[in-house]
């Protein structure tokens, strides 16, 4: 009887030990999930080191229903949100503009939630979902792919309530330390949105849209000749076009 009780106690101890290990392991998995608020703050803090910059940008459109030759523009930026773009020719810009400020992708009042870990361009990154708190927001959600090591946004995706979507892949190089990308590739899906009329060549009739389902495209913007934190006069942001 004594031997049986001792074995029984030993058996129960082994079971309890396994349960305890499982609980600790499960708790560690939860604890390992990055804090989305912290990740976003780190991205913002890194870019806030950039007081101003100028850069040249080459814009390349790949949209089936609209043709435009490559364009070259010059961009001026100054914290917190001053932007000026110079172009000698008519230029179509992405709705999100050419501003390299990553904070623009997360501007607004959102509730962040951690989703998962992913891989982008060979790097492990954290995926965060942002849900707007306002019922009148024009956005359904924003997803961010954040490189927690470099404190960079590698990709963001925006879903609008009008059924259109936009995604951007950001590639870094010469200005990685400052959080400024060298190239952004915008992927746009206009969904069922009727594009503005007038002189905008993107306008099409309903019957045209039924025949042509190509309602998406890409815009690639490549940046060069950066000058960061060199000082920019405020006058350049208030000058009227001649």
> In 3D, which of 122, 104, 91 has the Cα closest to residue 168?
104
Helices (H) and strands (E) in the chain, counts: 3, 10
Q: What pLDDT is recorded for position 28?
A: 47
Q: What are 138's two structure tokens?
A: 């024009």
DSSP category for residue 235: G
Residue 20 confidence (pLDDT): 55
Q: Which residues of the chain have pLDDT under 70?
A: 1-32, 90-108, 191-214, 239-242
Residue 181 burial class via C-beta count within 10 angstroms: exposed 0-12, middle 13-18, buried 19 and up? buried
pLDDT digits 0-9 by tens, 77-124: 998 888 888 888 766 665 555 666 666 666 667 888 999 999 988 888
* CA atoms of 242 and 240, how far apart (whole Å): 6
Q: How do residues 163-180 score in pLDDT, each as one tens digit?
A: 788 899 999 998 999 999
- The predicted pLDDT at position 99 comes to 60
Tell me the two tokens of residue 204: 């099409």
What pLDDT is recorded for position 204? 44
């Amino acid at each position: 009887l004594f031997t049986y009780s001792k074995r029984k106690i030993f058996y129960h101890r082994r079971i309890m030990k396994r349960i305890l290990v499982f609980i600790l392991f499960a708790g560690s998995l939860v604890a390992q999930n990055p804090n989305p608020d912290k990740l976003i703050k780190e991205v913002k803090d890194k870019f806030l080191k950039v007081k101003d910059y100028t850069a040249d940008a080459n814009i390349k459109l790949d949209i089936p229903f609209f043709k435009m030759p490559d364009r070259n523009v010059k961009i001026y930026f100054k914290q917190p949100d001053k932007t000026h773009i110079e172009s000698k020719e008519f230029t179509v810009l992405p709705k999100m503009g050419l501003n390299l400020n990553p904070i623009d992708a997360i501007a607004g009042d959102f509730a962040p939630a951690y989703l998962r870990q992913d891989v982008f361009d060979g790097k492990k990154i954290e995926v965060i979902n942002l849900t707007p708190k306002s019922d009148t927001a024009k956005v359904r959600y924003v997803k961010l792919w954040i490189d927690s090591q470099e404190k960079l946004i590698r990709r963001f995706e925006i879903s609008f309530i009008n059924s259109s979507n936009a995604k951007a892949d950001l590639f870094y190089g010469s200005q990685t330390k400052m959080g400024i990308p060298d190239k952004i590739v915008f992927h746009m899906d206009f969904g069922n949105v009727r594009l503005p009329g007038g002189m905008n060549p993107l306008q099409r009739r309903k019957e045209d849209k039924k025949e042509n389902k190509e309602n998406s495209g890409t815009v690639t913007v490549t940046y060069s000749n950066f000058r960061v934190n060199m000082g920019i006069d405020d006058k350049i942001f208030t000058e009227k076009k001649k």
